[in-house]
Amino acid sequence: MIRKRIAEPLLVLACIHEFAWKMFSEDIQGDIRALTQWPLLVALCAFVAWLSKSRMITAACVAISIMSSTTAMCSAAWLYSPWSIESWEQSCSETWGFPMLLLSCFAAILVLYVCNTSDKNG
């Protein structure tokens, strides 16, 4: 029964991610797809962390969730209030004045630290 309760929402999230973007205009389809990827990835990471009961795997899943959230936040912000994108260099970081990839980098470093600490302590 628990497998069914986990499998059904995962499948719904996967279907939303896989097909919902096609219902939107071409100019925002990529952002919709990036936005719908986040809950799917977070749900999968939560499931893996729950199954593993491992501190290291949980830490990696948290980092992956944080990293994917920066893309989702950027897409959501652009959909809410689009800004001009004239070159590939322009990004959320430039628009917001904060390096969003720094959050991802911090999450990855934190995972390495937690994994290293876990290895030393048992």
Per-residue pLDDT tens listing for the chain (122 residues): 666 677 788 888 888 888 888 899 998 888 888 888 889 899 999 988 888 888 888 888 888 888 888 888 888 888 888 877 665 555 777 777 777 778 778 878 887 787 777 655 44
Q: What is the pLDDT of residue 85?
A: 66
Distance CA 85, CA 20 (A): 24
The Cα 40–Cα 57 span in angstroms is 18
Per-residue pLDDT at 1: 62
Q: Give the orientation angle of helix 100-120 with respect to helix 55-80, to 10 degrees.
A: 170
| Token output for 78 | 């652009």
Question: Is residue 39 a contact partner of residue 69, using CB atoms and an 8 Å limit?
Answer: no
* pLDDT at residue 114, as a whole number: 76
The whole-model pTM stands at: 0.71
Numbers of helices and strands, H then E, in the chain: 5, 0
Q: Compute and round to an integer the Cα radius of gyration of the chain.
A: 17
Q: Is 20 within 8 Å of 29 (Cβ atoms)? A: no
- The one-character DSSP state at 121 is T
Give the helix/strand (H/E) hosting 74.
helix 55-80
Length of the chain (residues): 122
